Structure formats: C-alpha cells, structure tokens
C-alpha cells in the first residue's frame, strides 16, 4: 500500500524535530499513512451497469468528525448519531425527520453505543456519557484517556475501550467502575477506533502486535489470548501489525484482521486459530451467510469461506479508494470510499451492481449500518448522515 522509502524519509524527518514527542509522531504517522492526508491517489472509477436501483432516501447534517470515527445506531424506528463537536441527534429512520438535537458541551471522540435503553458516548477528555432516549443526561463517568470507539453493553456491563488500550467494565446504571483491563503496548502503534465486540458474556478486542484477546464481561478476567499476526521486518514501521478494526463474532468463531498481518478465524471456546490468511486490512471485515468479507489495505474486497479461508472472489477495481469495512445487506455487499461513493457488489461474485455518491463527496466512516435488507445508514467526515434505499 505504501512506498516504504518515502515512509522512512517521512518518519525520519519528523523524528529529527526537537519539539516532536513520540505521541505526536505516532498520531502524525497514522494520519499521513491511513487518514485523510494519504498521498496515495484513489483510482479512477470505471463505468458500471446498474442492475439494482439505489437512491438517497434522506440526509441530515451534524458537525464534522475530524479524526474521530462515529457510528450511528438504530432502535425502534429511530437513528441516533453524534459528531466531534458534541452534538447528538435523534432522527426517524423512515424520513429523517429530526426528533431532537442536543449539544453535550463536550468534545466527543467515540459513539454512539446502545444498550439497556440508553445511549453511550465517549469524550476526548476521557469521560463516558449516558443519555436516555429523550436526550437527558443520566450520568458521567471518568476513565483513563479518550474513548475512540462506541461503548458496548452486555449482561448489564458497559464495556469501554480507551486510547491507552485500557478496557473498562462500568455499571450501566450509574457508571461506577466494576473492573479494568490493561496491557503494555509497543512504542509505535497506529491510532484507530477499534473497539470491542461483545457476545455471550465475552468481550473480544484486538491490539497492537496482532494480539486478539477474549475477556469475561462479568469481571474483566482474560479467557484467552492469541496472536493473529506476528510483527516482522527490519524497521519499526515494517513491524507494525496492529488490529485496527472491530473483531466480528459469527457462530463458534470470532474473526479478526491485522494491518500488515493476517485475517484469522479463532475458536471462541479455546482461542485456537482455525485458519489464517495473509490479507492486510485497516478498516476491517464482516461475516454473514458462511462468508467472510474483508476490505484489504489497498481497497480490494475479498469474500472468503468462513470455515477454511478459501477465496470465493476478489474485487480489485477500487484501488487506493480507502474503503470502509464491507457491509452485507440482503444479496449485496456495500462499501463506502474516500470520495463519498457507496459501491454495491453482488455478494455471490463480487461484481458491481450499483453506485451512488453522497452530496458532501466526503469520506465515509469505516462502519456503516444496515436497517433491515433495504436501507443503509452512512455517516461521512463532514457530518453528513445519509439513508440509502435499495430496491
């Protein structure tokens, strides 16, 4: 994906600056290599034959996200979304009508989480906020550092991941701390919004160095830890093999993928790696219908067999378009890109069936949301929220 000579020169130039801390170095590297400042030119789009009608059903706008990733959630016919400037909005799924809009007065950095009839958000100053569905603040709880992903709920425990790699288990009712998990991290890591995946009383999280762990939601105890990818290479940049996206649980397996590493299927009960493939990803994967769909680091899309990792198909015509994680919806796979396009692929062979561009023409967030089998909710970096209808 990257020209390593140019990267080495960039890192060297930054490192020589006397005023640059290692934190600044890490964040600058992450933004330049993986964020909105990437020097890689997105490929031109080829014409396609549209065989599935798609259209923008409605759109609304919040503030910009800057370098944070936000994911909308739905509940009982409503969409809840947030932005970095502190806004939360409640919209109707059917027509995008605004029910309420509030400003938290905080710089938000992670959200929106949903559970126990509450909404959860994280702030840049390391607070977790809980709101009810009417927009009333119920509690505010302090954690160790900024929250870069949406908090998640399972078994009445709110699981929150922080930028410093600590994971907290909080009481849903009042935000009081139940447990905290922490681990040492390498000096050089990629800034990401990778959160936690919860299922059946277990929390799954990926870390720098290609490690995937399972924790008990009840008390934060480690169930198992496994290496999805092993760092390799002569330089620090070449040795980065971080899991920067959300693990995906499907049946008895949990899937994870590392940048400059592998995609792997791990047995949830034992932590044993069932299979792995040398596929690198920054934004992640999805799993549905006996297939695993992966967005490669160079923006190819793979469909793999869930039990063996064998390739069913690969779509490579979106090179360097910095695509989102794949979203299965009905018979299609959807991905968003850096120029605000949503691309729709036939899930059986990977051929393009439709394409649409949002009004902002801004990068689509890494995670989109399917509502049933006919609507996608996508949020972009300029604050646009779009409902895309699929006929």
Alpha-carbon distance of 150 to 132, in angstroms, equals 16
SS3 for 331? coil
DSSP character string of 44-87? PPPP----S-EEEEEEEE----TT--B--EEETTEEEEE-TTSE
pLDDT of the residue at 55 = 97
pLDDT in tens, 89-105: 999 999 999 999 999 99
The predicted structure's pLDDT at residue 189: 61
* Residues 130, 88 contacting (CB under 8 angstroms): no
Local structure of 228: helix, strand or coil: coil
> Can you say whether the dihedral through the CA atoms of 258, 353, 334, 60 is positive or negative?
positive
Task: Mark the ranges of the chain whose per-residue pLDDT is less than 70.
Answer: 1-39, 186-191, 232-240
Q: How far apart are CA 63 and CA 356, in angstroms?
A: 22
Residue 76 token pair: 């009982």
Quick one: pLDDT at residue 66?
87
**Which residues have C-beta within 8 Å of that of residue 147, sequence separation ≥ 6?**
109, 110, 121, 122, 123, 126, 127, 128, 160, 161, 162, 163
pLDDT value at residue 40: 81
Indicate yes or no: pTM above 0.85. yes
Q: According to the model, what pLDDT value does residue 260 have?
A: 87
Domains of the chain: 1-40 (no CATH), 42-65+282-391 (2.130.10.10)
CA 374 to chain centre: 22
Return the number of other C-beta atoms located less than 10 Å from residue 168's C-beta.
25
Question: Which pLDDT does position 236 carry in this prediction?
Answer: 63
**Quick one: residue 282, left, alpha or beta (phi over 0 = left, psi -120 to 50 = alpha)?**
alpha
């Amino acid at each position: 994906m990257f020209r390593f000579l140019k990267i080495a020169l960039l890192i060297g130039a930054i490192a020589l600056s006397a005023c640059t801390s290692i934190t600044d170095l890490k964040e600058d590297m992450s933004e330049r290599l993986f964020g909105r400042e990437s020097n890689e030119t997105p490929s031109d789009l080829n014409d396609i034959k549209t065989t599935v009608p798609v259209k923008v059903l409605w759109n609304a706008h919040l503030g910009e996200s800057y370098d944070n990733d936000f994911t909308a959630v739905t509940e009982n016919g409503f969409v809840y979304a947030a932005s970095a400037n502190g806004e939360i909005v409640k919209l109707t799924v059917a027509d995008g009508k605004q029910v309420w809009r509030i400003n938290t007065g905080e710089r938000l950095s992670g959200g929106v989480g949903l559970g126990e009839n509450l909404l959860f958000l994280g702030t840049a100053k390391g607070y977790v906020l809980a709101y009810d569905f009417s927009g009333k603040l119920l509690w505010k709880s302090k954690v160790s550092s900024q929250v870069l992903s949406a908090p998640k709920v399972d078994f009445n425990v709110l699981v929150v991941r922080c930028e410093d790699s600590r994971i907290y288990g909080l009481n849903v009712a009042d935000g009081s701390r139940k447990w905290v998990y922490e681990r040492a991290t390498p000096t050089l890591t990629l800034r990401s919004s990778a959160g936690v995946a919860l299922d059946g009383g277990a929390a799954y999280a990926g870390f720098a160095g290609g490690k995937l762990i399972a924790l008990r939601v009840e008390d934060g105890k480690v169930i198992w830890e496994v290496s999805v990818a092993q760092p390799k290479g002569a330089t620090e940049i070449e040795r980065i093999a971080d899991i920067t996206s959300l693990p995906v649980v499907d049946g008895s397996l949990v899937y994870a993928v590392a940048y400059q590493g592998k995609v792997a299927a791990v047995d949830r009960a034992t932590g044993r790696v069932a299979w792995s493939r040398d596929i690198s990803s920054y934004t992640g994967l999805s799993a549905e219908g006996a297939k695993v769909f992966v967005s490669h680091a160079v923006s190819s899309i793979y469909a793999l067999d869930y039990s063996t990792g064998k390739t069913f198909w690969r779509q490579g015509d979106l090179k360097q378009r910095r695509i989102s994680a794949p979203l299965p919806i009905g018979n299609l796979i959807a991905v968003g890109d850096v120029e605000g396009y949503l691309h729709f692929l036939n899930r059986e062979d990977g051929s393009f069936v439709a394409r649409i561009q949002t009004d902002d023409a801004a990068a689509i967030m890494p995670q989109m949301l399917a509502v049933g089998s006919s609507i996608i909710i996508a949020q972009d970096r300029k604050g646009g929220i779009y409902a895309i209808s699929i006929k």
